[in-house]
Structure 1
Amino acid sequence: MVHAEVKHFISPDIDLSDPTADFPDDDAVLIVALVGPKGGEGEESLQFEVMTPNALARRLEALGVVFGQGVVVVEHLRVGAVLDLIRARVERVAGLTWSDVARRLGRLGEMEGED
């Protein structure tokens, strides 16, 4: 059985080095998890847009719709807690092959090479 493992996180929007950092209640940020087979080589990017309920409400008001793949809504945008939540969810994914795992991960977030 192949299990997913988060190798590390990156973000073009926020500094992930301070796990106690909080962001405004109406914020939305992109967080990319670099994920590969547990204990193995290689990684692929899995993108999540993390937003607060206020940011979601603003988006709904502006667009009238928000699609869910890769969208994570959190009460408070605290860096460490959000990364822990994403890591825990991603690392529950397993399959017979890495292709199986990648397909399942693609249901959670936007996977590298999709579309």
Structure 2
Amino acid sequence: MILIIPEVKSIIITGNPTIIGKLEIDETVDLGDDFLLSGTACIGTKESSACDNFDFTVISPKALDRKLNTTNLINGRACFIVKDFDIKLLKERIDDIISNCLGETWEEIAQKLSPYFYWEYEN
């Protein structure tokens, strides 16, 4: 049995209108205590440069509370709730998740990642 070892090729964070002129956030920045960001982890295998996109949300407790007051229900899947935005901490957590998702097939790996991310080929 040969296991496929996934790895993060890149992480893309977008969605903060307060950072003018910058579409992606690639460093730790002070976003205050009220933010909702979109993220994509580009994940592939160590043997290939190809990758699939796995999407997630990064949200502060204040933004989560505001959303709950508006919608009264939030699906918690693929959501990282953080007090302060720290790209290094986020990358470490995603690397930790990926390291526990070995599999014999890529589909098996994607299934193991599904509690944490939305795979671009889902459904």
Amino acid at match of 2:46: K
> Equivalent residue for 2:25?
16
Larger radius of gyration: 2
CA distance in 1, matches of 2:94, 2:33: 19
CA distance in 1, matches of 2:99, 2:31: 25
Matching of residues 18-97 of structure 1 within 5 Å: 18=27, 20-97=28-105
> Equivalent residue for 2:5?
3
45-54 vs 97-106, greater mean Cα deviation: 97-106
- Sequence identity (%): 25
**Displacement of 1:90 after TM fit?**
2.3
Instruction: Give the length in aligned residue pairs.
Output: 114
Show structure 2 runs of 5+ residues with no match.
17-23
**Which aligned segments of 4 or more residues in structure 1 are displaced greater than 6 angstroms?**
none
Show structure 1 runs of 5+ residues with no match.
none
- Give the TM-score, by structure 2 length: 0.82
1:50-71 Cα offsets, whole Å, 9 max, x none, are: 1111111111110000101111
> Equivalent residue for 2:110?
102
CA distance in 2, matches of 1:77, 1:10: 14
Q: CA RMSD in A?
A: 1.6
CA distance in 1, matches of 2:30, 2:99: 24
